[in-house]
Chains A and B, each alone.
Chain A
């Protein structure tokens, strides 16, 4: 692989020929690979053969990208129902790795990887890391969990692909994280946004200033939804550039990031096809409309997925990016279909709450949504912590802060929400995926 340094705009690409390819050429590649994929799964996977037959589709019916819509969706439940390896398309001897997702609801899901799957995964992240200026000479502290979870090993292989030095510290042991970050000159940190907030809080308590005392320039944050408003907070407080990373274990793991333009996540079209659908009807939505993300894998061998329902809400953007990359972008994921709360008939996403709260400077970074049903009526209460700097010792100031937050939430959610200011440290800090909702309704 070559890396190009384009002198006119100083943008680096991991694979410029592919990343800057005109969209119609890219779509030709997608079409060819789609035809091959459909043949491949039909002949290698009894699961897909049955699915296609039930839907009355034959591989030869799929000729163009538009024909993709004829194919049935694949769901997470399919992976569970076919636990552990019922959907795999290769014999066990071809597998070089398993990852297993936590089975909080029902059976866990198992993803198998061939050697090529691992390499395609690293390639995808290699392009992504290059697009945020991470490469040779960077020290990438991987503070995602290593092991069955895909976050740690995913970033690890991606960083090695571009020649960065990996610090495979995994999650937890925050004192050590901060110590090694300083001693080994970490330039890039990858973890959940919640863990970064926790680390920043610990650093502050220890008198460590990210800008003065560390070489940290870049953060790669994901594995849970976070908002644009939170990004601004993080960047202002620590002086780093914070980038969103996207992926799910079923697709391999973390795969894509934004580029330095911070204007959507580049989904590599030669590896994946993106669709946005209406989650109710399953119909494909036009570019620019918000809907559920559906992804088809084009290069995966062990566990290819056809029209896989990711469950995240986002918007597709096919306009070429200012960075010169032509591959489709998805806008920041604003919530998951299964994260949606229905309160008195109104849809509420935790991300909406975060956006509102992070715009109010007096409010701290941590919050918890409590939902309950009292006298047959849904209630929603949000616990917030106050920023130390914003604390006034006048009772009225605090009451008016609570009112200000409640009215800001009401104007966005169209719902009356209780706001309770709690003591600093009351809301549980998280080093992995954080829990932002407690739903006590007995339905």
Chain B
């Protein structure tokens, strides 16, 4: 089942100018590609979450640069880019008692929408989505987007 998880890189960053630029430029040097990206900000600090094509490399770069960084298993869900998709997903997970801790989405060139979610119960979420016929991304999909 593991292969249906996506490795998300999360890092703690103080809310001050230049932090994002330094991360982005170190990724550029190491040719790490960011596929999806979001910042959850809370006053003085923020948590940057991202899905990249080379998570191990990204993790190492950030760690060596002195960031507090962690890897989290999240789910990547492929959706049709039409209204109602998000509601369906939230509904089927809710019925099984799976809570979505947070979610963010991105749209690709191929008119697909991808939803990244962190849930409190990965196993049930994967089973539920599989039963409902909702396709999940794996790391190889992330690399080839």
Interface residues of A (CB under 8 A from B): 385-386, 388, 391-395, 398-399, 420-426
Contacts and interface: CB of A to CB of B under 8 A. Distances in A.
A205 to B, nearest CB: 8
B139 interface: no
A423 B47 contact: no
Given A386-B12, A422-B14, A423-B13, A391 B68 contact: yes
Given A388-B68, A395-B40, A398-B42, A426 B47 contact: no
B47 A420 contact: no
Contacts of B49: 393
Given A393-B72, A421-B45, A424-B67, A398 B12 contact: yes
Q: Which 7 A-B pairs have the closest CB atoms?
A: A393-B10, A425-B66, A424-B68, A391-B68, A395-B42, A395-B40, A391-B70
Interface of B: 8, 10, 12-14, 40, 42, 44-45, 47, 49, 63, 66-70, 72, 101-102, 118
A393 B42 contact: no
A372 to B, nearest CB: 16
B70 A423 contact: no
A386 B18 CA distance: 21
Chain B interface main SS type? strand
Among A399, A423, A426, residue most surrounded by chain B Cβ atoms (within 10 Å):
A423
A151 B63 CA distance: 35
16 contacts: A385-B68, A386-B12, A388-B69, A391-B10, A391-B68, A391-B70, A393-B8, A393-B118, A394-B118, A395-B40, A398-B12, A398-B45, A421-B44, A422-B14, A423-B67, A424-B67
Given A393-B118, A421-B44, 16 more contacts: A388-B69, A391-B68, A391-B69, A393-B47, A393-B49, A395-B40, A395-B47, A398-B42, A420-B44, A421-B12, A421-B45, A422-B14, A423-B12, A423-B13, A423-B14, A424-B67
Contacts of B102: 394
A393 B66 CA distance: 17
B42 A399 contact: yes
Nearest to A388: B68
A394 B13 CA distance: 13
